[in-house]
Structure 1
């Protein structure tokens, strides 16, 4: 029975309740702000009188009247039907198997070990995610030198707060507003004529569809709008060598199974991304551990604190078996 929780952007989204013989499983679907033309489409209401057209009543009705009966009668391949259902089914399968969700996902990926990712902290926002016009939409930091995920998380959090304090001291409080993905919304005018901030780039995300880069550069070029987690586009981009890393957004491909196919097809790194319209569902943390991917693009602090906390729990549960990607973040086990 789907419900309608709200994302961190206060927009309605879909939540699926899947009932087995004696257990209830629940999964919430995130929603992105900037979407590509080739990714899986969201089924919205487009009724401007309700949530400014962002309601999801039609999606809820589709699940109740089409997907749920087909699932019960076993006439539908659920893994490729709708994201909320596939997430709930994946959770149910883990309980049926009697293992943590991340270990079930690791089994699906044929991974014998769980590797905690390097979190890419979104520290400064711009353009569609903020109110400024800086050339780069996001400035992210990767604390690769931590000895484990817990220490790396601490480094990222401390750097985020210290950066905000530095900007506030130099440019004033108005320069430290927060963008919709948790990064500081720094007005572009604050930087002009007042010195420059120096950044060392180890990873670049392709900013526009159809724009080509050479993937042979000394940095990792992440395919975002070039690929939009689309298997056909991935094959094309790989042939052109336009990038050397794929940005995986589960909501763009709408299936756990297809997400795994993306990781297997990628001949280079994989970066898992949150959505700007995230929920409190921590499935992304379980997927990161199970797929054993090198890094993840998560928003800073409160918006995804539940996912950060779940990754900490996974690391604690694994104990001495826990591994951290660290400086090897460019490479994933899944491929």
Structure 2
């Protein structure tokens, strides 16, 4: 099962921006493709997504340099290699790049090949991708974290907070998480339209709001949960993605919507007040990726009550995750394939997170494709959680639907823990 050919092409993500599709072919004719997502709100420590920067073509967003790197450097280096040597082949590409953040060849070039290689290997072994990635040990269907209201970089800064999401903590099955979310999503849309607060659909499928401040969305979300027939905090909890690095200038935090500036201490008090006031079970990037003091304080005060997720803080980087574990900065890590740039490194990042007793949350990007790789990744590693965006737009729904297919394939082996998985880090009653 040796690699015979690798090629790459420019395709388009869910925002209409160019991205990479890599096609890998084995000597027996098996073919597989890896489609690379792209983020809008990116952390400064992420691996580099290589774009051409030619403003005359696709406003500088084209990826022809990355494509050339696949064809001219990566493909020759991997030709004739066993497709089953995922780690060795990933390491070969990383060494070929030779930079700390994959900036020479591009993390998008390396990741596209890495994803296609894993898919081809699974097909060659007549396995589902989750079976191959998890060596047959993955069977946990993830609890969904689903956006209802978009904000920040995902919705033209309609709110300073990037995501208002729900987690169906009362659901007893994966299907029930989808039903609960369906009801809340559409109730929220009806309520916002009635109030004249809905502009449209944000990048990740959530409602694009029109609010005067950053507290108003909480009231609308709570009312939508009740309208849908659920009890906030018992059936459904709130999850937030603050994306605080986007609000921080190195000295203070700012809310453009309200024209307010906060010192780090004041911003800490605001995050604490929200977690005490509202049924929040999960909060992502409540502070900037360099504001370690607030991360430490927050973990100490809320770490037994709230899932505290590091995204920009960690960027799926193993060294940064290990640093966060050592310093007790959080209790959960957002996992994004393209932040680190290869399948092997992503698997390692999940393993390090789990070995520390922390919870991984496998995540999509705002610029997504029709590829459902992350669903298989979540199940393969028994990660337990999946964040894809909202309950609308086909690039989102393809992921939720793929989980249903994986569950059917697993049959009686499939497990669903729901909110029970939080007991690893939270003292839930």
Task: Return 5+ residue gaps in structure 1 as ranges.
Answer: none
Matched residues in 1 for 2:24 and 2:166: separation? 38
Deviation string 1:95-127 (CA, Å, 9 cap, x unpaired) is 2222111111111xxx63410101111111112
The answer to whether structure 1 residue 258 and structure 2 residue 345 are counterparts is yes
Matched residues in 1 for 2:218 and 2:151: separation? 19
TM-score normalised by L of structure 2? 0.72
The answer to whether structure 1 residue 316 and structure 2 residue 341 are counterparts is no
- From 131, 139, 143, the equivalent of 2:164 is 139
Shift, 1:175, TM fit: 2.1
Greater Cα shift, 91-100 or 195-204: 195-204
Greater Cα shift, 322-331 or 28-37: 322-331
Task: Return 5+ residue gaps in structure 2 as ranges.
Answer: 1-6, 94-109, 223-277, 425-429
Shift, 1:330, TM fit: 3.2
Q: Which residue number in structure 1 is paired with residue 117 of structure 2?
A: 89
Greater Cα shift, 134-143 or 61-70: 134-143
- From 279, 286, 297, the equivalent of 1:200 is 279
Give the structure with higher Rg (CA).
2
Q: Which residue number in structure 1 is paired with residue 398 of structure 2?
A: 306
The answer to whether structure 1 residue 63 and structure 2 residue 67 are counterparts is no
Matched residues in 2 for 1:62 and 1:283: separation? 23
TM-score normalised by L of structure 1? 0.91
**Is the CA contact 2:189–2:207 (under 8 Å) kept in the aligned structure 1?**
yes
**Is the CA contact 2:161–2:214 (under 8 Å) kept in the aligned structure 1?**
no
Matched residues in 1 for 2:321 and 2:160: separation? 26
Shift, 1:34, TM fit: 1.3
Matched residues in 2 for 1:139 and 1:195: separation? 8
- From 51, 56, 77, the equivalent of 1:49 is 56
The 5 Å alignment of 1:317-332 reads 317-330=409-422
What SS does structure 2 have at the residue aligned with 1:330?
A: helix
The 5 Å alignment of 1:144-293 reads 144-169=169-194, 171-172=195-196, 175-189=198-212, 196-197=219-220, 198=222, 199-207=278-286, 208-211=288-291, 212-213=294-295, 214-216=298-300, 217=302, 218-266=305-353, 267=356, 268-293=358-383
What SS does structure 2 have at the residue aligned with 1:16?
A: strand
Aligned Cα RMSD in Å? 2.2
- Greater relative contact order: 1 or 2 (C-alpha under 8 angstroms, separation 6 or more)? 1
Shift, 1:128, TM fit: 1.2
The answer to whether structure 1 residue 78 and structure 2 residue 89 are counterparts is yes
Q: Which residue number in structure 1 is paired with residue 19 of structure 2?
A: 13
Q: How many residues align?
A: 327
Shift, 1:151, TM fit: 2.0
Q: Which residue number in structure 2 is paired with residue 101 of structure 1?
A: 129
**Is the CA contact 1:249–1:273 (under 8 Å) kept in the aligned structure 2?**
yes
